[in-house]
Structure 1
């Protein structure tokens, strides 16, 4: 895992100091080494910060070139099938100087051009400069596990793993992309290709971008989960067997490393399964890491009991940490720095602390369990939404309109039920992703008159609509559950859940890997019908059937509990006082929110929604004002 950056300067006036400054804002992503490449004509500069994972020698340092220096790459991530590809390339006459996965990409590009990305199995974001064609490619992995950002003007392109590296250039102006801000209020994050910074974009997952020698910028989607799917039949025994076999292979493949590894272990099905499969074949105890909270909370109960059960089951070297609201408050400024733009999920806090715990115990790489719930119907509220969606399909529009008017009369038009009924009436999907913050009605109430007027003809459905069109054009099964998985694969996972993992883990120089989101496993999971996944209305029905006997039944049959933060209780502690002071001061000095509406949120004690606003305000104060 590393940090990458670069500059393309069509004026051929690239300054080495600027490139180094960009690169070294990301020391946390790569504390083990650094490098730069600048072309002779000072048009192209590539930078790299290195976290050593595979081939720890200096032969694997980056930026890296081919033999004659006509191709240069700066790469972040891991290619899990690089050894197989390497053997094939050697058979074709390619000569390697290192044992790294980075070099494999260069030689594979020599064989296949940019289509080489279709052969790569892994998580990655890389920039490849083709000196012969004078073309730059930026590439993000299929799922969007690794980020890459860019800013392009008429004569310069800046790109980097983190926005702060781009902002290290004083010529980059800082202002809020207010459409992106409006969408942030819906999704807790900014949907690609926008960021909250006007003029700075992020490449969506499964896309590459090309900048040619004439300055033309083009992007292409090279992968969609439905591209290579063959729908499964309903033979549950066969499906269950294949799920276990393919997940076992994914976990094993993701173990490639020349440095110590571990596993995040919450005690739920996904992390327990991950840790159990990871431990198979290991000669020494696997290091596992759990996080919890000091004290008892109504909204969240520690899961140490179940994590310890699995630790004992696999004989792991287990480590635990409990945190408090004081830990959140002491970390919050650093959190805003490492996030670059708000990721308004409070789980960022425990992810940081469990990552720090792992690093303090000499682990450099950890496997995590993200993705399983989205693939196998694992969320409690998804069951409720699925039932509601099925019922609404049979209700005439005039009945829906009456229902909306009734909710308006009793002043419940800000409620998510109202919003979903409105969406159904307007022939929109009622599910806009697994992390919805404010409804359209709520946003209209909390925004300032200026912003309310500006966004009067805009809806966050415009973000959803493009994803929906892709789904309808590509999907093999037009069902509610298939849509729910598809939109989260395209929005919530890459831009929220995976970014909280990337940013918080890399803050302490820890690489995180997500075997449930191995693209081949994702394709297999998405080939299973809604009917099979939701049999007996049991969450994760087919996954549970697949793993029965692999992990203890006590884990499989326990009540579902998501990994969360007692943010509501902490709001009534020190967090509420501090957030109110900062938010209200922000409202006095800026023109984003209606101060009376914000005051009502505090009066009602809506801690979660205040947290979303607090994240934005902290970001604004750090990155725009300062």
Structure 2
């Protein structure tokens, strides 16, 4: 994994790009690549690339970037890994391409020289790619299928800038950080911003599975080259599905062990991380390195004993770190720096310390378990929404909106039985408004709550705007392309578009990279994604059990007490963080932030939330963490600092 950036002043007659400018953008991301740095000025100083290297494949100087192919007409900067590069290389060399290194980076160049923009169809991996093609006079960007690697861009007034992190873009003197108010509106719901928006006005992120091509005229074309749509598949027995899933996961883990540096696994003792350990152990002659984080002030969230049991079973080289409120407070200023824009998931805090633990042991690459619950329906809320959809909502959707509105009042007691009172009220509103049931697995401020937390001025400016517009775009896409897709597939599709790439994978990338560690995600190999999307709902959720077919597939490698234990999830004691005297200090960061001067929020309402939380009337910790991240971010990037 690395950090990349670049600039192209495509419309100027005289170039102004200097190595110093590129270095200033590049070196604000030194944490992404502490091992090497490079820059390139091209197109008569109208353009340039910057690069920071975290050496993982071919540790020699031959892996230096920017890199060119067979000629110096095509140049590359690349962040990530291409897991099938060795097999692709064999064919490329047979067809006359000459390699100067053992890197996967060089394979991208030769593929592009041979296949043009179709090169992305051949590569398998996690990547953010930028190519300068001097003959075609075009800049090409690509983000991997699942969105494991981020890629941002700014395009205005004859200037195009891109980077792995937003902080590199705002280093350019033409870019002044300012709030994107519409993105802020959606952030409150998703605790991240949906692609292509970011919280920085004028700066966008390339969606997962997309390419962007900028030509000499400045015309920018964004196209989707891959989508996670279900497709027709042959009827198979359960045992055949189990064998196929296990093979796909085993192959994915093996591919993601590709490295010339030490690697390991983040281990919780749950199904997904334990599967990573078990399958990796099969392929190694030395103990797998495993890493676990615990809380010394919140025992109920600790997964130490489960992790130790798996470590003992598979003989791993196990490491642990304990953290608490003090470590969270110490890391908070760095958190908003490394996140670029708020990713209001408190898991970022323990994730940082377990990543640091790995790096301190000399481990550079880790495998993580993200994606499994989304693909196979592992969350409790996934099953709850599925039950509401199948038992009630799908029938109600057939009626005209006026009838649904009247019926929503009668439906409220039924929905309350399955959900908390506050969420039930929002679902009743959605039903009456003719909206869909499921908006994603992480919804904090729904439309009902936003009408209360936003100021009168902000509500007036965004009257008529709804986050449902973001959700509906994806729901309509799968409905049009796959009208027969079941409810589980539609929910997973939405997760693959919103929460997974822009919250879960973004937090993994930004926080592990803060410690110069590369995280790999075997459950999100695109072959496994495609297979899981084609599985019928009854193989994913059976009764009250999620991930049914995955657990069955893993029965030959993991014990039943691991597979069928109640799901705990990777968490953080954010509820406790906002209580007591120290919790009041966190609230002061919200109430005294320079963000308050913008009059986006009703701070008397926020104060009321804090008071109810402090008195344990209701748990508002997710909402308060969302506002805290936003406030500290604003002070760091835009406001008083």
TM-score bin (small chain): over 0.9
Partner of 1:147: 150
> Please, which of 621, 627, 633 is the counterpart of residue 619 of structure 1?
633
| Structure 1 counterpart of 2:502 | 495
1:531 partnered with 2:531: no
Residue number among 591, 596, 611 corresponding to 2:599 in the alignment: 591
2:172 is matched with 169
Question: Which whole-Å CA distance do the structure 2 matches of 1:510 and 1:418 have between them?
Answer: 43
What's 1:115 paired with?
118
Of the structure 1 ranges 422-431 and 150-159, higher mean CA displacement relative to structure 2 is found in 422-431
Q: 1-side partners of 2:587 and 2:405: how far apart?
A: 42
RMSD, aligned CA: 1.7
Structure 2 residue corresponding to 1:196, chosen from 178, 181, 199: 199
2:450 is matched with which residue? 443
| Higher mean C-alpha deviation, range 167-176 or range 130-139 | 167-176
Name the counterpart of 2:109.
Answer: 106
- Within-5 A mapping of 1:457-476: 457-475=464-482
Q: Distance in 2 between matches of 1:46 and 1:52?
A: 18
Whole-Å separation in 2 of the counterparts to 1:624 and 1:113:
40
Instruction: State the match for 1:341 in structure 2.
Output: 341
CA distance in 2, matches of 1:604, 1:340: 31
Aligned with 2:504: secondary structure? Answer: helix
Question: 1:354 corresponds to which residue?
Answer: 354
Alignment of 1:70-81 (within 5 A): 70-81=73-84
1:223-622 correspondence to structure 2 within 5 Å: 223-226=226-229, 229-233=231-235, 235-297=237-299, 300-390=300-390, 391-395=392-396, 397=404, 399-403=406-410, 415-475=422-482, 477-586=484-593, 588-605=596-613, 606-622=620-636
Q: TM-score, normalised by structure 2?
A: 0.94
1:89-100 to 2 correspondences below 5 Å: 89-100=92-103
How far has the Cα of 1:137 moved from its partner? 0.5
474-483 or 198-207, which deviates more = 474-483
1:45 aligns with 2:10: no
Q: Is the 1:352–1:507 contact (alpha carbons within 8 Å) kept by the matching residues of 2?
A: yes
Q: 1:325–1:574: 8 Å Cα contact kept in structure 2? A: no
Q: For 1:535 and 1:404, how far apart are their aligned partners in 2?
A: 25
Moved more, 488-497 or 525-534: 525-534
Contact 1:414 1:439 in 2 (8 A): no
For residues 40 and 405 of structure 1, what CA distance do their matches in structure 2 show? 63
Distance 1:61 1:70 in 2: 17
Q: Deviations over 1:293-321 (max 9, x none)?
A: 00345xx4311111111111111000111
CA distance in 2, matches of 1:358, 1:603: 39
Question: How many angstroms apart in 1 are the aligned matches of 2:161 and 2:377?
Answer: 40
Measured in 2, the distance between the counterparts of 1:404 and 1:313 equals 49
Match of 1:159 in 2: 162
CA contact (8 A) 1:141 1:207 kept: yes
TM-score if structure 1 supplies the norm length?
A: 0.96
SS in 1 for 2:297: coil
Change (3 A) 1:550 1:66: same
Partners of 2:470 and 2:83 in 1: CA distance: 32
State the alpha-carbon separation in 1 of the partners of residues 168 and 114 from structure 2.
32
Partners in 2 of 1:423 and 1:326 — Cα distance? 41
Alpha-carbon distance change, 413 to 54 in structure 1, aligned in 2, over 3 angstroms:
closer
Distance 1:178 1:269 in 2: 40
The 2-side partners of 1:97 and 1:464 are apart by 46
SS at match of 2:345: coil
Name 1:82's counterpart in structure 2: 85
Structure 2: runs of 5 or more not aligned: 614-619
Give the drift of 1:402: 2.2
Q: Summarize the Cα distance change of 1:452–1:414 in structure 2 as closer, same or farther, 3 Å threshold.
A: farther
Aligned counterparts of 2:332 and 2:584: Cα–Cα separation in 1: 15
Q: Is the 8 A contact 1:48 1:63 kept in 2?
A: yes
